[in-house]
Chains A and B, each alone.
Chain A
Amino acid sequence: DAGVTQSPTHLIKTRGQQVTLRCSPKSGHDTVSWYQQALGQGPQFIFQYYEEEERQRGNFPDRFSGHQFPNYSSELNVNALLLGDSALYLCASSLGPQDEQFFGPGTRLTVL
């Protein structure tokens, strides 16, 4: 049984560019949450998707957007990248919006 998977593992972008990160939830899970983990810090909640809609959002600007597909996989898009967007981006899936979240290994984004 595959756990949460994320792609790519690493990527490097320059300021002003746009990036798309992908997440496949654990088998049977229908809810995906995204977190940003800056170096040496704890993860911060970006948003959660359930039934293909953004259900809840943390304190992140509109440059951060997402999407959930009918197969429950999800994308995180970040526009107009800033140096401060460099971080590990974690995806977590759950069986419902309020159930235990299982985390993927993350995508390491570096903005130069």
Chain B
Amino acid sequence: GDSVTQMEGPVTLSEEAFLTINCTYTATGYPSLFWYVQYPGEGLQLLLKATKADDKGSNKGFEATYRKETTSFHLEKGSVQVSDSAVYFCALSPYSSASKIIFGSGTRLSIRP
């Protein structure tokens, strides 16, 4: 079945460091891909999305490119801030069933000042 595998955490970086969180997926057809973020004490928020191959989603300095040839959707940010500390989830919505979202297990990110 459809699934998402993402980099295990926790990941700890210093402020202004470059961030990459790896994500790969298994799905039939052409799923939509997402990154969600869960800040401490808050609900899940959609960070960015891409709906077709080679699309690049971007928001708040974060970027991810839909790579069908490698079935990947890696999250990147050039210079992280302390406020980026959160849990990040890679997710997909199957082409055949756009109603549900399938999440990875999450990556906890901590940024040191």
Knowing that A101-B101, A103-B45 touch, tell me 9 more A-B residue pairs with CB under 8 angstroms. A3-B43, A33-B101, A40-B105, A42-B4, A100-B49, A101-B46, A105-B42, A105-B43, A106-B43
In the complex with contacts A42-B106, A45-B100, A103-B43 CB distance below 8 A? yes
A44, A56, A105: the one contacting B99 at CB < 8 Å is A56
What's the count of A-B pairs with C-beta under 8 Å? Answer: 52
- Count chain A residues whose beta carbon lies closer than 8 angstroms to a beta carbon of B: 25
Residues 12-51 of chain A, each 1 if its beta carbon lies under 8 Å from chain B, else 0: 0000000000000000000001010000111111001000
B111 interfacial contact with A, CB 8 Å: no
B43, B99, B103, B104: the one contacting A97 at CB < 8 Å is B99
B44 interfacial contact with A, CB 8 Å: yes
Could you list 8 A-B pairs, sorted by A, with CB under 8 Å?
Answer: A3-B43, A33-B100, A33-B101, A43-B44, A56-B97, A92-B44, A103-B45, A106-B43
B102 interfacial contact with A, CB 8 Å: yes
- Interface residues of chain B, those whose CB is within 8 Å of chain A, are 4, 41-46, 49, 89, 91, 97-106
A58 interfacial contact with B, CB 8 Å: yes
Q: Describe A's contact surface by its main secondary structure.
A: loop
A45 touches B102 (CB 8 A): yes
**Nearest chain A residue, comparing its CB with the CB of B45:** A103
A40, A41, A45: the one contacting B101 at CB < 8 Å is A45
